[in-house]
Amino acid sequence: NIGFVYGDPFKCDTDADFAAHACSLSVNGSKVADGTGANALDDPLNVLAWLANFLSKRGDPLEAGLLVTTGTCTGLVDVAPGDHLVGDFGAWGKVEATIVAREEST
């Protein structure tokens, strides 16, 4: 990963089915991938549980307020500077980003 794009926080229902929730990824206005939460270890909550257990075994806490990513639901796609990406999570919202070239330091 080179970057991570996230949107505004939202509160979902406590009975939300993360595994079944659909999402899509578009690049420059063309849909390039569809997916569901099940693409992340069958359920993104499984990833979160794995992380909490792993950290616990090391004696490290999983503290409130941390931003935890649980993997990709659409797979990885190649992008280039200038590409505009939209992650669409339906009723849960969208995130958008435009890729820019990294400035090389001298």
Structure tokens at 10: 């939202």
Cα angle value 101/76/70 (rounded, 5°): 105
Closest CA to 26 of 101, 91, 94, 105: 94
Check residue 65 and report its DSSP letter.
Answer: T
The mean of the pLDDT values for the chain is: 90
Check residue 74 and report its DSSP letter.
Answer: S
pLDDT band at 83 (very low <50, low <70, confident <90, very high): very high
Tell me the sheet residues that pair with 98.
84
H or E element, residue 24: strand 22-27
Q: What percent of the chain has pLDDT over 70?
A: 97
How does pLDDT run across 7-19, given as a tens digit for each residue?
788 788 889 999 9
pLDDT band at 24 (very low <50, low <70, confident <90, very high): very high
Q: What percent of the chain has pLDDT over 90?
A: 64
Task: Provide the pLDDT for residue 1.
Answer: 59
Average pLDDT over residues 78-103: 92
